[in-house]
Amino acid sequence: MTERELLSTSGQEIVFVLVGLMVLGAAVLCVTTRQLVHAALWLVVALGGLAVEYLLLTAEFVAWVQVLIYLGSVVVLLLFGLMLTRAPIGPSPDADSGNRPVALAVALASAACLVTLVVDAFRTTWIDLDEPHGRSDALGDSLFRTWVLPFEALSVLLLAALVGAIALSRARRARAGTPADGGGR
Amino acid sequence: MDWLDVAVRVLAVLVAFLVLPLLVGQLEHKAMAHMQGRVGPMHAGGFHGWAQLVADGVKFAQKEDTIPDGADRLIFRLAPGVALVPYLVVLIAIPLGPDGMVGQAVDAGIFFVLAALGVGVLGSLIAGWASANKYALLGGLRTAAQLMAYELPLLLAAASVAMAAGTLSLPGILDAFEWWWVPWQLVGAFVFFTAGLAELQRPPFDAPIAPEEIIFGAYTEYSGLRFALFLLAEYAGIVVVSALTAVLFLGGWHGPWSDQLGWLWTLLKTGVLCFVVIWARVAWPRLRADQIQKFAWTVLVPLALAQIAFTGVIKVVTG
């Protein structure tokens, strides 16, 4: 971290801002488009753009993990769900829900919170990008030495979410009166 | 790194991308013909029909490029590109020989390669949806289910090698390679190669394509050059998965006289694995979609976890 003058832009920073605008545009399109699968594909663009941003910040490892987990698995899962519900080609008029204003309010509030936090935390500190920061060995060191407790807490949280999801889906099926396996025969 | 060096490397990767899949395609024609006791295409080009694939390419280019009426036109056109380009990108990171004989040494190479492979499958997924055809949709569904099941064992097996080598970079793994890694990581090699085969939807894991039940799945509505691009993506995928297995589990360029002939060893090991992929197509019947799922979750995932535990134990004991 070094102090640097504001507004002395390098090519890397210009590209960073441009890609950031692209991510923002794709994200807005993702939530406003009326075509369900197009929304998932705009999500691909937004998440891929984020990976490019990580690359520009020399966080190579995080960028590849972003592509692997989000593009390779999460989006595939989303598309799988959309295909199972036979998402139609063309606009779906019922894709909107009445929660639109609430969702907008929550999005704006969380964005404001995050922007304030980041601006307040870093202010005018600049990362020196000439040496790579996100090398996998350095990242592994800090993750499994310094931050190992939050890491483990997160994995327990995810496990709890997983167990909860299974419990919820089984409870609903039991209430519907069909056996948990081989139902509907 | 000067511009000439970069240009030469990019050119070499491009040439490999254009030549190797065609060689695999030709090998498939010939190997399948011999294994099935027939001659195969023998006329185009004179000697043993060597120009058959070129003739096929010309034929594909001349065909009409049809797009179904109800299709999502933009995504339908985009899909073959999404399927093909990641394999080109992956080739950049696969080391061919010692001392920097690699397109670009990537620090987290394993993750880069597997991430790009995962993106490639998005191509057949969106192709299946955008075709507005129920068989294509079924194919897309099976592709997605298969991808989600086999991504995990693929990653775990690769992670085992990364643990053994203590690095995520592909040239780094080869630098650390010892001959006894082959028996040590044998189970991981099996898991990786099988899961790779399933990600490519090659037989016996080709239920998403299955011409006899869902008439080529996601590719049903494709014709002409776009269909050829999907075929090319399949062959490029065979090359990439074989090359990765060779690099991660079979020692890549290691072998006698590896200082001079390292690249030949890599190509040789890759070629043998490509042959195994083709052999599997001729030798085994197609698994049902549910058998494919069961195989992934009840066989490959436990095997991969056992391999990781084994790798960890050996690493700690000898470490």
**Are B148 and A73 inside 8 Å of each other by CB?**
yes
- For residues B219 and B221, what is the distance between their CA atoms, to the nearest angstrom? 6
pLDDT at A8: 59
Q: Which residues contact B106 (CB under 8 A, 6 or more apart)?
A: A60, B92, B93, B112, B169, B170
What is each CA distance from B100 to A34, B20, B166, B241, in whole angstroms?
A: 49, 21, 19, 21
Q: Could you say which residues from 85 to 104 on chain A have a Cβ atom under 8 Å away from some Cβ of chain B?
A: 86-87, 89-90
Inform me whether the pLDDT recorded for A185 exceeds 60: no
B5 located within any domain: no
- For residues B182 and B247, what is the distance between their CA atoms, to the nearest angstrom? 11
**Are A41 and B132 inside 8 Å of each other by CB?**
no
The mean-pLDDT minimum among A106-110, A135-139, B304-308 falls in A135-139
A40 located within any domain: yes
pLDDT at A1: 46
Helix (H, G, I), strand (E, B) or coil at A125: strand
pLDDT at B192: 92
Count of structural domains, chain B = 1
Q: Are the CB atoms for B165 and A97 separated by under 8 Å?
A: no
Mean pLDDT calculated for residue range A74-101: 77
Collect all residues of chain A within an 8 Å Cβ-Cβ radius of residue B155.
68
Q: Is the dihedral of CA A34, A38, A42, A44 positive or negative?
A: positive
- For residues A117 and A135, what is the distance between their CA atoms, to the nearest angstrom? 26
Q: Could you say which residues from 151 to 190 on chain B have a Cβ atom under 8 Å away from some Cβ of chain A?
A: 151, 155, 167-168
Helix (H, G, I), strand (E, B) or coil at B269: helix
- For residues B129 and B135, what is the distance between their CA atoms, to the nearest angstrom? 10
pLDDT at A5: 55
What is each CA distance from A180 to A159, A160, A167, A173, B319, in whole angstroms?
A: 22, 21, 11, 7, 48
**Are B115 and A72 inside 8 Å of each other by CB?**
yes
How many C-alpha atoms does B21 have within 13 Å on its Cβ side? 24
pLDDT at A161: 93
Between B49 and A9, the higher pLDDT residue: B49
A160 located within any domain: no
How many CB atoms sit inside 10 A of residue A121's CB? Answer: 8
Q: Which residues contact A79 (CB under 8 A, 6 or more apart)?
A: A37, A40, B122, B125, B126, B129, B140, B144
pLDDT tier for residue B306 given thresholds of 50, 70 and 90: very high
Helix (H, G, I), strand (E, B) or coil at B200: coil
The helix or strand, by DSSP H or E, that contains position B213, with its residue range, turns out to be: helix B211-214
Between B235 and A89, the higher pLDDT residue: B235
The helix or strand, by DSSP H or E, that contains position B310, with its residue range, turns out to be: helix B301-318
Domain that holds residue A44: 2-132
B10 located within any domain: no
**pLDDT tens for residues B148-168?**
888 889 989 998 988 888 888
**pLDDT tens for residues A63-81?**
888 888 888 788 888 888 8
> A69 to chain B: nearest residue by CA?
B115
pLDDT at A183: 41
Domain that holds residue B248: 18-37+53-318
Q: Are the CB atoms for A65 and B111 separated by under 8 Å?
A: yes
Q: Within an 8 Å CB–CB cutoff, is residue A22 touching chain B?
A: no
ipTM topping 0.85: no
Collect all residues of chain A within an 8 Å Cβ-Cβ radius of residue B140.
79, 83
Collect all residues of chain B within an 8 Å Cβ-Cβ radius of residue A61.
107-108, 111, 168
> B120 to chain A: nearest residue by CA?
A72
Between B64 and B197, the higher pLDDT residue: B197
A185 located within any domain: no
Q: Is A177 left (phi over 0), alpha (psi -120 to 50) or beta?
A: left
**pLDDT tens for residues B197-233?**
888 888 888 878 877 788 887 888 888 888 888 888 8
pLDDT tier for residue B8 given thresholds of 50, 70 and 90: confident
B276 located within any domain: yes
A69 located within any domain: yes
pLDDT tier for residue B262 given thresholds of 50, 70 and 90: confident
The helix or strand, by DSSP H or E, that contains position A3, with its residue range, turns out to be: strand A2-3
Side chain identity at residue A68, one-letter code = L
Can you name the residues that pair with B125 across neighbouring β-strands?
Answer: none
CA of B58 vs chain A CAs: smallest distance (Å)? 33
Q: Within an 8 Å CB–CB cutoff, is residue A76 touching chain B?
A: yes
**Are B118 and A135 inside 8 Å of each other by CB?**
no
Averaged pLDDT score across all residues of chain B = 84
Inform me whether the pLDDT recorded for A6 exceeds 60: no
B3 located within any domain: no
Between B31 and A3, the higher pLDDT residue: B31
Alpha helices, DSSP H only, in chain A? 11-32, 36-56, 60-66, 75-84, 100-122, 136-141, 148-175
Query: Which residue of B67, B78, B122 to mutate against A (max A Cβ within 10 Å)?
Result: B122
Collect all residues of chain B within an 8 Å Cβ-Cβ radius of residue A44.
122
Q: What is the CATH number of the domain that holds A107?
A: 1.20.120.1200
**Are A67 and B116 inside 8 Å of each other by CB?**
yes
**Are B141 and A80 inside 8 Å of each other by CB?**
yes
**Are A136 and B108 inside 8 Å of each other by CB?**
yes
A157 located within any domain: no
Count of structural domains, chain A = 1
Q: Within an 8 Å CB–CB cutoff, is residue A72 touching chain B?
A: yes
pLDDT at A182: 44
Query: Which residue of A36, A60, A76 to mutate against B (max B Cβ within 10 Å)?
Result: A76
Q: Within an 8 Å CB–CB cutoff, is residue B130 touching chain A?
A: yes
pLDDT at B184: 85
Tokens describing residue B276: 């195994």
A27 located within any domain: yes
How many C-alpha atoms does B179 have within 13 Å on its Cβ side? 2
Q: Could you say which residues from 39 to 68 on chain A have a Cβ atom under 8 Å away from some Cβ of chain B?
A: 41, 44, 60-61, 64-65, 67-68
Can you name the residues that pair with A63 across neighbouring β-strands?
Answer: none
SS (H, E, C) A77-122: HHHHHHHHCCCCCCCCHHHCCCCHHHHHHHHHHHHHHHHHHHHHHH
Inform me whether the pLDDT recorded for B283 exceeds 90: no
A161 located within any domain: no
